[in-house]
Structure 1
Amino acid sequence: MAMDGYRGFLTLLVAALLFGVLSVIFTIVWVLHYRGGLAWDGGSLEFNWHPVLVVTGYVFIQGIAITVYRLPWTWKCSKLLMKSIHAGLNAVAATLAIISVVAAFDFHNTLKIPNMYSLHSWVGLAVVILYMLQLLLGFLVFLLPFAPLSLRAFLMPIHVYSGIFIFGTVIATVLMGLTEKLLFSLNNPAYSTLPPEGVFANVLGLLILIFGGLICWIVTRPQWKRPKEPNLTLHQPNGGTPERVEGSMAINFGEMDKSNSELNDETAARKRNVALDEAAQRSTM
């Protein structure tokens, strides 16, 4: 299927992927070169898993997950397949986010640092909980075939909005956490003197921000939205609520209705012709 502004979409998508990959690479370089590396020992090296997993999963993979429906070369794939890919990517991002939170709490508890006192921690924990609820609701309502179509139609705008809201909040939380870490860690020389690590981390923050902006722009353009499949409103018996049927069933029902209508018109025309012939014969007798 043709997409309006395909070249612009492709350009922005490639740019988003570039900034996303650079964000992950910069995060890994930051913790390996400036923060001492990675370990799982309860110390500062375990905490370094927190930014790596957050940027890799909660930022980059989540950003890819919310754009899969916009890829025009997947529009011919079944909706169920795309839902499964979307849910799978979000599940991976959620898993990495949980591990990152565990690493942060373990680090704080080992060094006797108070938990949940900063705005970064408040917003971060809240957005993790919201993300889990979003993932669970999406799985139960949109992936499993048990939810009524009317419920899906009602929740879809909320699901889309909350997904973008959560992603944007994650970006803001990451930037808050990055600044907080630099303020606590850079004392000699101080962060205010623009040491090399501070400049490097600031560039990382800009990369993450640009990636988030590009993803939000891509997923909010109506001309790049996955086309809706043909549908048909079916009225339920006994005064039931009308339901909408999507895909090939709607096409088949439409073709059946069209064929029945054409057959009825042809039958009526034949009856009129027979009646006219009989009338003509009577008039000549």
Structure 2
Amino acid sequence: MTHIFYFFYGFCLCLSLLCALFVVIWNLHWRGGFAWDRSLLHFNWHPVLMVSGLVILYGNAAVVYRIPFTWKQRKLVCKLVHAGMMFVALLLSILGLSAVFDFHRGFNIPHMYSLHSWVGISTVLLFASQWILGSIGFLLPCSPPWMRSFLKPVHIWMGRIILVFSLASCISGINEKLLLTLNGISAALYNALPVEAVFVNFLGILIMAFGMAIFGILFVKKWQRPEDEGPENAYLLLSEDTP
């Protein structure tokens, strides 16, 4: 089963690189590049940071425990790597939100008016809550066993829900951006499928494929990290079942 896992894991890594490459090329080639000055270029950081944080880094952090070569390492090391990756993903997501709010303030655009914005902000808030509660409940040595037992199923469920919300946020945001730009300030119409629309639609397909591959890894029980014995289990950040 190990070689099959590495095939899927390699596929996930390839999709990660393609998602990052597509979202950067989109904003460099068609949207004009990047700036942090509340201009139109300021907004371009938003899709790059959200896809990088909420999808790519979050998804790869979720499968850290499934990688067989990490099973020979101390579990606490894997937990800290996982927590660190999730923390960076959260920071990128917060920066992505900051970019879009700053852009809106620069152009006097109302905040939080679309379904995409509601789903997106909910996803980041859930993510932040998940990270804080997980750190307190599973990482701190002083956390009581009953708290870890109570939080474990919640943490597992929330981890998967956040990934679903992340995918929904990014896909809806990509569609919203195309509708606003190609039917608004751009001469090309979205329904005419200009090159940009085709390219970005492929980005959406790549994001969905990445999410499916991550869930495929998470739901195969044979790819879970073997149960460890010893006192270190009392200081785990997440259970081996956690996504």
TM-score normalised by structure 1 residue count: 0.79
In the alignment, which residue of structure 2 is the partner of 1:177? Answer: 173
Q: Return the letter of the residue paired with 1:225.
A: Q
1:227 is matched with which residue?
226
Structure 1 counterpart of 2:229, one-letter code:
P
Letter of the 1:228 partner, please give it. E
Q: Quick one: which of 31, 38, 43 aligns to 1:42?
A: 38
Q: Which residue of 2 aligns with 1:127?
A: 123
Amino acid paired to 1:208:
I
Select between 165-174 and 222-231 the one with higher mean Cα deviation: 222-231
Kindly state the Cα deviation for residue 246 of structure 1 after the two structures are TM-superposed: 6.1
Match of residue 160 from structure 1: 156
- The Cα offsets for residues 167-189 of structure 1, whole Å up to 9 and x where unpaired, read as 11101110000000000000322
**Alpha-carbon distance between aligned partners in 2 of 1:43 and 1:81, rounded to the nearest angstrom:** 42
**Alignment RMSD (CA, Å):** 1.2
Distance in structure 2 (CA, Å) of the matches to 1:184 and 1:216: 31
Query: Does 2:60 correspond to 1:61?
Result: no
In the TM superposition, what is the alpha-carbon distance from 1:86 to its structure 2 partner? 0.6
Q: Aligned runs of 1:95-114 on 2, under 5 Å?
A: 95-114=91-110
Runs of 4+ that moved beyond 4 A: none
Does residue 18 (structure 1) correspond to residue 14 (structure 2)? The answer is yes
Contact 2:76 2:232 in 1 (8 A): no
Question: Residue 72 of structure 2 aligns with which residue?
Answer: 76
Matched residues in 2 for 1:164 and 1:13: separation? 18
Q: Work out which structure has the larger RCO, using CA pairs closer than 8 Å and 6 or more positions apart in sequence.
A: 2
Deviation digits for residues 214-248 of structure 1 (CA, Å, limit 9, x no counterpart): 011101211111111236xxxxxxxxxxxxx666x
Q: Percent identity?
A: 45
Aligned to 2:135: 139
The match for 1:194 is: 193
Using the alignment, how far apart are the partners of 2:83 and 2:215 within structure 1? 18
Separation of aligned partners in 1, 2:47 and 2:232: 42
Q: Tell me how far apart the structure 2 counterparts of residues 246 and 51 of structure 1 sit (CA, whole Å).
A: 39
Which has more radius of gyration?
1
| Counterpart AA for 1:146 | C
CA contact (8 A) 2:134 2:155 kept: yes
In structure 1, distance between residues paired with 2:22 and 2:165: 21
Name the CA distance, whole Å, in 2 between partners of 1:158 and 1:228.
Answer: 20
Q: 1:152: how far off?
A: 1.1
2-structure distance, mates of 1:190, 1:221: 43
- Please say which of residues 70-79 and 202-211 is displaced more in the overlay: 70-79
What runs of 5+ residues in structure 2 fail to find an aligned partner? Answer: 234-243
For residues 82-102 of structure 1, what are the alpha-carbon distances to aligned partners after superposition, in whole Å with 9 as ceiling and x for unaligned?
Answer: 111011000000001001101
Alignment-mate amino acid for residue 26 of structure 1: F
Q: Secondary structure at the match of 2:72?
A: coil
Deviation at 1:80, TM superposition (A): 1.2
Provide the C-alpha distance between the structure 2 equivalents of 1:78 and 1:159, rounded to a whole number of angstroms: 22
Residue matched to 1:217? 216
What are the ranges of 5 or more consecutive residues in structure 1 without an aligned counterpart? 232-244, 248-285
Corresponding residue for residue 28 of structure 1: 24
Deviations 1:13-60 (A, max 9, x none): 000110111000000000000000000010110100001111112211
CA distance in structure 2 between the partners assigned to 1:178 and 1:213 by the alignment: 18
The alpha carbon displacement at 1:111 in A equals: 0.6
SS in 1 for 2:215: helix
Q: 3-state SS of the aligned residue for 1:112? A: coil
Alignment of 1:270-285 (within 5 A): none
1:75 counterpart SS class: helix
Aligned positions of 1:240-255 closer than 5 A: none
